[in-house]
Amino acid sequence: MKVPFVNLGAQFESLKTELVDTFVRVGSSGQYILGPEVECFEAGLANITDTKYAIAVANGTDALELVLAAWGIGPGDEVITAPNSFIASAGAVKAVGANVVFADVGEDYNIDPLEIEKKITPKTKVIIPVHLTGNPANMTAINAIAKRHQLKVLEDAAQAIGATHKGRAVGGLGDAAAFSLHPLKNFHLCGDAGFISTNDKALYEQICLLRNHGLVNRDESIRWGRNSRIDALQAAIGNVKLPYFAKWTERFKQIASRYHQRLNKVVECPKVSGEDCAVYHNFVIQVDRREALMAHLLEKGVESKIHYPIPLHLMRSARKFGYREGDFPVTERQRDRILSLPIYPELTDSQVDYVCDVICAFYEAAQ
């Protein structure tokens, strides 16, 4: 059996008629940038995140940068985030000229609130918790820390649309949140896109300016901004997909549950707090003999990945930060053991069971 790590074409085929009709309709309209399709899509995203405002932008990295820029974060400021995320989490901080400060993670792969406390200085302005793999960080503890120290909280929710913490949707748990709609995310468009959610009207208005060159009309800019407008076609694709969001999200959870049931006694499965509902953008296990297992899976037709093999503090681009191997022991221990298994709505139960069978057989043979 073949089990690819991703299969984006399968989702496209299931919606092909609707998507082709959408392309013709938007193409015929002549409205290609912003406009009614974007406004409709933003309303749908605000509903998912249970926030007053959602602002669609060009990508998830821009979403992070725009929030930081709107808050006036820049040179001399410090922003605390996790070292085990995708490069964009730290890259957005550097892009606005601020300094990145890392804090180690816990067993759930998310930033450890106790480690955040150790990193706060008079220069600290923002905490960026990353809801890694679609599992919410401990926002109750993080918000309490932020309140004590008068800090902003920006959720990096790129992997976590639809997840909840204590019954509240990710995206409305901090002062603002940044999401990615990249094709590899669990809710995605047919190209790069992202969005910001917030309940702060002033922040919403500033980001609307910043994503469109600071323009208040066609000819007048009132502050320096950038071009981070989402295409109307991408938003229209999003509007086609929004009605399927709940069904797809539930399918991610079903697959994760199946993996948990079959593999929990064989490998270390993801840890999720009883207060949280994860959406499993990635299903990340921890294993012994990882490279041998990956080779065995591939031999049997199953693709797997590592998210992420190089922690941010050990990237060549981060050398000037002064971090070294050993600075974040939990992150580094997990780096050597983590393995992501295929998970997407189009995956069949037979494929999931086959992946489990191959993993179980590998460790049974080793014994």
Q: Which fold has domain 8-242?
A: Aspartate Aminotransferase; domain 2 (3.40.640)
Cα separation, 53 vs 94, in Å, equals 26
Q: At what angle do helices 87-95 and 60-70 cross, to 10 degrees?
A: 40
Backbone angles phi, psi at 57, to 5 degrees: -135, -175
Region 296-308: what's the mean pLDDT? Answer: 98
pLDDT band at 366; cut points 50, 70, 90: confident
Q: Is the CB of residue 161 less than 8 Å from the CB of residue 305?
A: no
The predicted model gives 187-194 an average pLDDT of 98
The model's pLDDT over 235-267, given as tens digits with 9 standing for 90+, comes to 999 999 999 999 999 999 999 999 999 999 999
**In the structure, what pLDDT confidence band is assigned to residue 136 with cuts at 50, 70 and 90?**
very high
CATH 3.90.1150.10 matches 244-366: yes
pLDDT given for residue 367 in this prediction = 82
Nearest partner of 268 among 252, 251, 285, 256, judged by Cα: 285
**Mean per-residue pLDDT of the chain:** 97
0.85 exceeded by pTM: yes
Given a cut of 90, whether residue 314 has pLDDT beyond it is: yes
Would you tell me how many other CB atoms lie within 10 Å of the CB of residue 366? 11
Tell me the domain boundaries of the chain. 8-242, 244-366
Beta bridge partners, 286, equal 268, 338
Mean local confidence (pLDDT), 72-86 = 98
Residues 6+ apart with CB under 8 A from 311: 83, 84, 328, 331, 332, 335
Give 93-112 pLDDT, tens digit per residue: 999 999 999 999 999 999 99
- Alpha helices (H) in the chain, listed in sequence order: 8-14, 16-29, 36-49, 60-70, 87-95, 113-119, 139-149, 201-210, 232-241, 245-263, 290-299, 329-335, 349-366
Residue 46 has pLDDT above 90, yes or no: yes
